[in-house]
A and B are shown apart, each in its own frame.
Chain A
Amino acid sequence: MSMWVQDFGPVVNAFKVAAEDYASRSGTVKVTVQSIPYNDLQAKVIPSVAAGNEAEIMMGYNDWYVATDISRLFLPLDDFFGGRAELEKTIFPSSMDAIDTPGNKTYYLPYLAGLRGAVTTVNAGQYAEQNLEYGKFATFDEFLEAARNLTIREGDSIKRAGLSIWNAALVMLKTWIWQLGGEFYARDTGKWSLSSPEGEDILQRLQNLYQKDKVCNLDIANREYEFFLQGALSTQMEGAWTLGVAADANPELKLDSVVTPRLSDARQAIACLDHIAVLTLSKRLASDTQKQEAGIGLAKALISPDALISITDAYSGSLMSKELYSDPRIQRTRFGAASKRLAEGVWPNARFTQDRVANQAPALTELQRALTNEISIKEALANADAYLNEQEAQARERLRA
């Protein structure tokens, strides 16, 4: 048996512990864990499945699989986990919507999520210096106001940026269009329409951060995380995972993460999510009863509170297990309490588009071009729509075929 996992220390460790534990209990099963860098893993999984030499258990991300037929990639899991309804008793239900699956069957187990955009991470020390109580902010507009106070300028340059949403621009655009009651994707037709009055309004607000309020500049925006680590950025929305990683990289920083509050003019509380880690099993297991039993056993072990609890010692993002967060041990791990607070704050309002575009990075780049005034807001939205519609059409044509 082999397992492929992204080369993120705490997760690799959890895989290894589960593998060793299972192997020692079974006595006959030998399990190898291969840790692979993110980009290599992405380039490896689907071609390997096509060639029939993929690992028995694989970690991956939902957006890698949306542009193809997931039912032809992985083993259906309903028979082993009691179907979606049963899984929803232990896993956050909205995480089961991360991919539009044929027949509403289950082909993946939601595993963990960084929650980009849905979580705001702050330099708590800098907020305290300004007497800003971010924990009490009821709307995102209060973060904008705080950012103006936190920004320190030196002549034309910015010594400390108050807020940056550079890498979260696309997911925030989607979230806020929904919050304002708009829509940007029609699931039945596959039509993208970020170009809308709501879309223009939101992108204008995001652009204002960089062009009008000047709470951040391009230099800092391009390397949000690095500047955040150096204390040169007070607020960023890269995701909940940054809390743990940044705390390790620079222990002197006093950091905290909160669920991103809604806009002041929001009609509904909603958070768009587009990128979560999932576990999948090889289709080859269907024809090998012994390996299938081992694979299912290992997968169950990997999503059990016992395995997940160890991850929260180093990882501050969300894990998908409701069971984990109801386990009292969660309060005793280093990031357990934060992970629980963020996960339980985000998932009830989380929503996925269930689109078919695997690579949305070019759409994000178009928005970023508008943030720097390289192109107009209308042009950026139109370009993003054109790209997304083209990709969506290609994927839908393949799926129809």
Chain B
Amino acid sequence: MNTLFDAVAFARKGPLSKLNFARRDMTSRLGLAVGIGLLIYYLFVFFVPFAIAVWLSFQNWDFIVDPKFVGMRNYLRMFNDNYFWQAVRVTVTFSAIEITVAMIIGLILAFLLSRLRGFKQRFYLALFYLPVVVPSVVSVLLWRWLFISDGGAFNVLLTSVGLPAQPFLLSADQALYCIIVMVIWTFLGGIIVLFLAGINDIPEHLMEAAMLDGAGLLRQFWSIVLPLLRPVIVYQAVVSVIGTFQLFEQFVFLSGPGFSTRTLAVYTYQLGFKSLDLGYGAAVSMFIFVMLLVATVLQLRRYRDAIEY
């Protein structure tokens, strides 16, 4: 019995073959049941709502009156809608800055943490991860208090060192950046955990060889960690793009003046539930879907090219 195939053949011929078949039959039935269950779940939770949203995007509907088919009009409206493009600008600016900054900081901190061991590493990891488990409404309220222009913690700090107080959320120029800071703080822990796991997977002998060749920390990071971590970085980028497009309460509760912090997600909600313009809201959500799809495909292409080891 040298191979797995031999073992299988023996089992089929042997006295346990009936029992094995019965078990296999049961397993495949269970598998079938789980598979069908999942299929039904995905059908009702994802595919049916998605199909309805696609249908809705070609209608003018308000929940109540009969839907009116309007063809491509909702999609054409988007191109002449300044509010839509403003929301696209805000969303893309937010995502680009938030993801870039969070990933750079996360990468550096994960690398530094990977140099620690035992309690120290766990302690700092827990510290960075803490905001992830804080309910988002609580952290939003906390940051709103920190950003209060008159007597808020940040301005007290700034004025105490002789710097001018800032309007923060009251300024159309600063509000978006305030939310970026808050979101980075919130999700940094998750990014660090992922990167740390990736760094820990890098074969130790590569680092040791680099050290023997006289490579310092910066050189190790640049020449070994960064290239070998590329698949993880690409994965994190994909997840982050999708995640930032879906953020909602942060923009509702920390909103800046005018349209300065209105993202596509908030705009879609307002179109649907405030304006009762559901068809157009659905068309905007389809645009978000296509944007995310394109971004994901582009990033996954880069993932395919990532270095394997």
| Chain A 34-45: CB-based contact to B (< 8 A → 1; otherwise 0) | 000000001100
Residues from chain B with Cβ under 8 Å of A374 in the complex: 172, 258
Task: Check B6 for interface membership: any CB of A closer than 8 A.
Answer: no
Q: Are A394 and B277 in contact (CB under 8 A)?
A: yes
Bound-complex Cα distance A383 to B82 (A): 9
Among B61, B63, B66, B170, the most chain A Cβ lie within 10 Å of the Cβ of: B63
Contact B276 A358 (CB under 8 A): yes
Asked if A218 and B257 make an inter-chain contact with CB atoms under 8 angstroms apart, the answer reads yes
Specify which chain B residues have a CB less than 8 angstroms from the CB of A387 in the assembled complex: 83
Contact B277 A401 (CB under 8 A): no
Please, which residues of chain B bring their CB within 8 A of the CB of A358? 274-276
A 51-83 contacts with B by CB, 8 A? 67-69, 72-73
Q: In angstroms, how far is the closest chain A Cβ from the Cβ of B99?
A: 28
Q: Is B208 part of the binding interface, using a Cβ–Cβ cutoff of 8 Å? A: no
The 0/1 profile, CB within 8 Å of B marked 1, for residues 323-341 of chain A is 0000000000000000000
Contacts of B65 in A (CB 8 A): 68-69, 72, 398-399, 401
**Interface residue from B60, B63, B274, B275 paired with A50 (Cβ < 8 Å):** B63
The A interface, classified by DSSP as helix, strand, loop or mixed, is: helix
CB distance from A371 to the nearest CB of B (A): 11
Interface string of B288-301 (1 = CB under 8 A from A): 00000000000000
A67 touches B149 (CB 8 A): no
Residues from 347 to 394 in A contacting B, C-beta threshold 8 Å = 357-359, 361-362, 365, 368-369, 372, 374, 383, 387, 391, 394
Q: Which residues of chain B (139-173) have a CB below 8 Å from chain A?
A: 149-150, 167, 170, 172
Contacting residues of chain A (234-288) with chain B, CB-CB under 8 angstroms: none
Which residues from chain A contact B68 at a C-beta distance below 8 Å? 397-398, 401
In the complex, which range does the number of interface residues on chain B fall in? 20 to 34
In the complex, what distance in Å separates the CA atom of A69 from the CA atom of B276? Answer: 11
If the complex has contacts A222-B257, A362-B83, are A47 and B63 also in contact, measured as CB distance less than 8 A?
yes
Contact of B170 among A219, A365, A397, A401 (CB under 8 A): A219
CB < 8 Å neighbour of B258 from A50, A357, A359, A365: A365
Is A87 on the interface with B (CB-CB < 8 A)?
no
Given the interface pairs A369-B258, A394-B60, A395-B276, the reply to whether A219 lies near B149 with Cβ below 8 Å is yes
B161-220 residues with Cβ-Cβ distance < 8 A to A are 167, 170, 172
Complex contact B62–A68 (CB within 8 A): yes
Whether the pair A69, B258 counts as a contact (CB closer than 8 A) is no
Q: How far is the CA of A223 from the CA of B152 in the complex (A)?
A: 14
Tell me the bound Cα distance from A123 to B47 in angstroms. 57
Q: Do A49 and B64 touch across chains, with their CB atoms under 8 A apart?
A: yes
16 contacts between A and B (CB under 8 A): A46-B63, A47-B63, A49-B64, A69-B65, A222-B170, A357-B275, A358-B274, A361-B274, A365-B259, A368-B257, A369-B258, A387-B83, A398-B61, A401-B66, A401-B67, A401-B68
Chain A residues in contact with chain B, CB under 8 A?
A: 42-43, 46-47, 49-50, 67-69, 72-73, 218-219, 222-223, 227, 357-359, 361-362, 365, 368-369, 372, 374, 383, 387, 391, 394-395, 397-399, 401
Given A68-B63, A359-B274, output 10 extra A-B contacts at Cβ < 8 Å: A47-B63, A49-B64, A72-B64, A218-B257, A227-B150, A365-B258, A369-B258, A397-B60, A398-B60, A401-B66
